[in-house]
Structure formats: C-alpha cells, structure tokens
Amino acid sequence: MTEPKKLFIKTYGCQMNVYDSERMAEAMGGTGYVQTETPDDADMILLNTCHIREKAAEKVYSELGRYKGLKANNPELKIGVAGCVAQAEGKEIMRRQPMVDLVVGPQSYHRLPELEAKARAGEKAVDTDFPEDDKFAALKTRPKAKRGPTAFLTVQEGCDKFCAFCVVPYTRGAEVSRPAARIMDEARDLVERGVRELTLLGQNVNAYHGHEKGLGGLIRQLATVDGLERIRFTTSHPNDMDDDLIAAHADCEKLMPYLHLPVQAGSDKILKRMNRQHTAEEYLKLVERLRSVRPDLHMSGDFIVGFPEETEEDFQATLDLVKAVEYGSAFSFKYSERPGTPAAERPQVPEDEKADRLLRLQTLLTTQQKALQDAMVGRDVTVLFEKAGRDPGQMVGKSEYLHAVHVQAEGIAPGDMARVRIVWSGRNSLNGELLQG
C-alpha cells in the first residue's frame, strides 16, 4: 500500500472559512490525502485566506515566506492559496510568490482535486470563477467520520449589501442560498455523526431565501430533527431581521438566546456613509423588539472605528449606542482601507486617532461583557459539553449564551448536556456545579 499524501490546511478569518476548510479537506480525502497538523511533513499546503482587512491579507504573504525552506527541501511539495485573498488577487499571488502552485477562490474549491492534479503535472493552476455549477452539489455527501458535538453549516453565501468599507460582495459575490432540502440532509447526517449544535453560516445569513419562510422557516424545520439540540446562526444584517425570525427567538426552543447583529457604528452620519441603510435608532428599536420576545437575549456585535470622516462626536455616538445595548460579546476593528471599495477613496482618519478610539471602545465593551458574565453567577444554565478540561474530571462546554463553562463532571462525555449552577466568574469563562436530577 502506498503511504497517503499529507495535506496541511491553515485557516484564516471567519467561520465560513473554517467550514470551507473542512469541505476542502474532505474533497482532497477523496484523492488519497489525509490531514496533518504541521506543514513540515506535508505534501500539500493550503492557506485558506481572508481579505477583510489589510492585516489579514498581508499575513498570507508572510506565512508563504516561511515555507521557502520546506519547498527547497521538497520540490514535490505543492502550495495552494484558497479563500478571499485568492479571489481578490488571483494570479497576482503567483507573481508575488512564485512558489505558489495553485490558487482557488471560495466558489470553485470543489475543483480542487483537478487543480492539484494540474499542479502535480507542473502547471500553474488558477480558478477564481463564479461557476454555474453549485459547489455544494458537486461536493455531495460528507464522509461518515464521527464528529464533535458542534458544527458549522453554511446555508448562504455572498452579500448584496455593499457596505462602503467591505470587500465581501466582491470576493464572495452575490447572495446565494442553498436549498432547504440539502441543508436538512446535511444536518441529519451531521447529527447522526454526533453533532448536537449547529451554527448556520452565511455572510448575510438572515437574507437566506432557500426556504419559503426564510431563515426563520429553515430554523423551525431544522428544529424538528431529533438529536439536534441547539441552533445558532451568524452573521446577520439588521435590515433582514424579519418578523418570523424575531418570533422564532421566542417560540423555537432550540434557537439559542444569543444573537450576533453587527451595527458597525452609532452615528447616523457614519451609518449613512457606510451605506448600512438604517439609523442607530432603528437598530436600537430592533434590539428592543428582540428583547421584548426574548428578555435574556445576549447581544453580540461588530464595530468599526475611524471610518473615513468619523469625528470625535460620531465616535461618541458609537459609545452611546454600546451603552444602550449592553453587549454580551463584541468584535471591534480599526477601519482598514480596502482597494476597490468606496470608503477607500474618502479622507482617512489618522492612524493614532483610530488606535485611541479602538482602545476606548474595547475598554467599554470588555467592561460590559465582564459585567454580563459576572451576572451569571448564581444562575442555572444548560451546558453542552465539548471536551475535557485541564483538571482531572473536569469538562468544558458552552451555555445557551455561549459562555465557556468549566464543571467537575465525572462520567460526562462530550455531547452530553446537563443543568449547571454557575458558582464563579473568571477572566473569560465561568465555573459551575452539576445540578442533580
């Protein structure tokens, strides 16, 4: 028997890339590759890249630089760049880094085995098409290996919103929804293999239209799958939060009380220039509506500071909005100029001003998150256990609100769920005790 070839995949960026990397590994599994944890013994290295901010994109080139020695020692090693940098920069990558053998965009990775074969034959292989054939249909069913208790499932890709700062509509293309029937099949299959919690993914997931009743309809249908205990979804746009999806937060027990709903900024002037198509007031009203149907909803968000022409007063409006919402978790970034996006053409905020605002925003967000986490002490939550903790007999899992919870739990295995009383709040996680019965 010949030794299987080894594939090392390094994933950058969002959860959609994590899902895509799994699917790419599975596709290459069909051609005799097994995954390896280190680039050192790999026959193929694949970087699944992110283009959302300049820093993310530059990481790819510095990582590639590190593989020079490996390539020199092993001329058979093939190096591929996948994901959004591949889509945005295409052949340019091979010019900047001639050791790259193949480039594949996020919509064409079902063709990876062909591209690899081409690269093995000594050709440079590039595919950054938005093909007619559906990659998910071409990828077909997933291998039957046992899975951990949580999984991502991409239901929607692309974005039609064209926020003025964002490359996604260019790198991932127009909105496309996968048919509900296919998602149901994939979900059942994942549950059979041990998955208890699904996070539905999409660049603009609540614009999902593969079900006649939108994302709310899909969630309700998924909730009928026995053995699937929890459903989450990310990332949403405020304007696509329809009545049924809001209602699902009240009446669909399997839908978890945690919502990632980016607002980006709190000033109406900046929101308008960002082309977000809603005001701060409208966002706050929406949060109020969501909390009126699900009072314990933990909110999460994304923020950009130092968007072109953002003044101190505009930034204060962001701080005011954050104070009004009280986020359970959040991601915040300095605005990063992206070539080809409208905001890149506007007058820029100086770098030190951006850094100062980011620090102030993150201080506020961290204080809020910690206060909400501390407020869990004394409360009872349900934990889905994922893995063993550091101490003997300890297990770690997530609460409904996505807090990591450590519990002394002899006899409990990954995938089990139990009621837990929270007794202590640490820096980034909680400790709890199993409730009997």
Q: Give me the 254-293 binding string for ligand SF4, x by CB under 6 A, dash otherwise.
A: ----------------------------------------
* Residue 133 and residue 54 in contact, taking contact as beta carbons nearer than 8 Å: no
* 252 among annotated binding-site residues: no
Minimum CB separation from ligand SF4 for residue 284, in Å?
19
From ligand 5AD, ligand SF4, none, interface partner of 208 (C-beta below 5 to 8 A by class): none
Q: Does 415 bind ligand SF4 (CB under 6 A)?
A: no
Sign (positive/negative) of CA torsion 222, 191, 205, 303?
positive
Q: Does 161 bind ligand SF4 (CB under 6 A)?
A: yes
Q: Does 220 bind ligand 5AD (CB under 6 A)?
A: no
Minimum CB separation from ligand SF4 for residue 395, in Å?
35
Q: Does 204 bind ligand SF4 (CB under 6 A)?
A: yes
Of the residues 110, 135, 220, 237, which one makes contact with ligand SF4 according to CB under 6 A? 237
By beta carbon distance, the residue nearest ligand 5AD is 302
Q: Does 163 bind ligand SF4 (CB under 6 A)?
A: yes
Partners of 431 in the β-ladder:
406, 424
Grouping H, G, I as helix, E, B as strand and the rest as coil, residue 273 is helix
Cα separation, 394 vs 388, in Å, equals 6
Q: Does 325 bind ligand SF4 (CB under 6 A)?
A: no
Return the residues of window 287-316 that contact ligand 5AD according to CB under 6 A.
302, 304
From ligand SF4, ligand 5AD, none, interface partner of 53 (C-beta below 5 to 8 A by class): ligand 5AD
Q: Does 85 bind ligand SF4 (CB under 6 A)?
A: no
* 84 among annotated binding-site residues: yes
Cα separation, 265 vs 298, in Å, equals 19
Q: Select 302 or 400, whichever has its Cβ closest to ligand 5AD.
A: 302
Grouping H, G, I as helix, E, B as strand and the rest as coil, residue 312 is helix
* Residue 319 and residue 359 in contact, taking contact as beta carbons nearer than 8 Å: no
Cα separation, 297 vs 224, in Å, equals 22
Q: Does 409 bind ligand SF4 (CB under 6 A)?
A: no
From ligand SF4, ligand 5AD, none, interface partner of 162 (C-beta below 5 to 8 A by class): ligand SF4
Q: Between β-strands 176-177 and 156-157, what pairing exists: parallel, antiparallel or unpaired?
A: antiparallel
Of the residues 44, 84, 159, 231, which one makes contact with ligand SF4 according to CB under 6 A? 159
Cα separation, 415 vs 396, in Å, equals 11
Grouping H, G, I as helix, E, B as strand and the rest as coil, residue 96 is helix
Total residues contacting ligand 5AD (rule CB under 6 A)?
12
Q: Does 262 bind ligand 5AD (CB under 6 A)?
A: yes
Q: Does 166 bind ligand 5AD (CB under 6 A)?
A: yes
**What HEC string does 119-186 produce?**
HHCCCCEEECCCCCCCHHHHHCCCCCCCCCCEEEEECEECCCCCCCCCCHHHHCCCCEECCHHHHHHH
Q: Between β-strands 404-408 and 417-425, what pairing exists: parallel, antiparallel or unpaired?
A: unpaired
> Of 34-42, 176-184, 267-275, 330-338, which part binds ligand 5AD (CB under 6 A)?
330-338
Sign (positive/negative) of CA torsion 110, 116, 121, 122?
positive
Q: Does 155 bind ligand SF4 (CB under 6 A)?
A: no
Q: Helix %, strand %, coil % for the chain, to 5?
A: 40, 20, 40
Total residues contacting ligand SF4 (rule CB under 6 A)?
10
* Residue 306 and residue 334 in contact, taking contact as beta carbons nearer than 8 Å: yes
Minimum CB separation from ligand SF4 for residue 303, in Å?
12
Q: Does 165 bind ligand 5AD (CB under 6 A)?
A: yes
From ligand 5AD, ligand SF4, none, interface partner of 203 (C-beta below 5 to 8 A by class): ligand SF4
Q: Does 263 bind ligand 5AD (CB under 6 A)?
A: no
The greatest distance separating any two alpha carbons of the chain, rounded to the nearest whole angstrom, comes to: 68
Name, in order, each residue with C-beta under 8 angstroms of 299's C-beta and a sequence gap of 6 or more. Answer: 259, 261, 287, 325, 326, 327, 328
Q: Between β-strands 380-388 and 176-177, what pairing exists: parallel, antiparallel or unpaired?
A: unpaired
Name, in order, each residue with C-beta under 8 angstroms of 39's C-beta and a sequence gap of 6 or more. Answer: 8, 10, 45, 67, 70
Minimum CB separation from ligand 5AD for residue 229, in Å?
28
Minimum CB separation from ligand SF4 for residue 216, in Å?
19
Q: Does 422 bind ligand SF4 (CB under 6 A)?
A: no
> Of 90-98, 192-200, 223-231, 334-342, which part binds ligand 5AD (CB under 6 A)?
334-342
> Of 80-88, 157-165, 375-383, 425-433, which part binds ligand SF4 (CB under 6 A)?
157-165
Partners of 264 in the β-ladder:
303
* Residue 41 and residue 6 in contact, taking contact as beta carbons nearer than 8 Å: yes
Residues near ligand 5AD (CB under 6 A): 52-53, 165-166, 262, 264, 302, 304, 333, 335-336, 338
Residues near ligand SF4 (CB under 6 A): 159, 161-163, 166, 168-169, 203-204, 237
Give the residue ranges of the annotated binding site for [4Fe-4S] cluster: 14, 50, 84, 159, 163, 166
